[in-house]
Structure 1
């Protein structure tokens, strides 16, 4: 547990991951799970990108569904 400048408690994530997952994290985001688990700003940046990718994929699926059923 780490106490930040503002008195907020920052806890590190305890992640279980494989070598393949580590390689994929580096390939997709340029950081490893150790950094992802330790640095909140890095984690939030990665999760924001993941959220945007998810929303984009949902829009694409909805668009394809409309085209197929039109």
Structure 2
């Protein structure tokens, strides 16, 4: 988990656990990325179904 946090967010897991502000920033970025992924999926799915 430590390597994943460092590579994805540039901070260690212990810092993530201790620092509320950092944790909130990471979680907001995760949510934003999730929403972008969902929108991308929806766009691709609609294009796929419109070509049938």
Q: Same fold (TM over 0.5)?
A: yes
Higher helix share: 2
Decide which of 34, 39, 43 is 1:59's aligned counterpart: 39
Unaligned runs of 5+ in 1: 1-20
TM-score by length of 1: 0.70
If you compute each CA radius of gyration, which structure gives the higher value, 1 or 2? 1
TM-score by length of 2: 0.92
Query: Mind listing any 5+ residue stretches in structure 2 that lack a counterpart?
Result: none
Give the structure, 1 or 2, with the largest relative contact order (CA under 8 Å, sep 6 or more).
1
Greater than 2 Å deviation, 4+ residue runs = none
**Alpha-carbon separation, structure 2, partners of 1:33 and 1:23:** 9
* 1:1-70 → structure 2 map (5 Å cutoff): 21-70=1-50
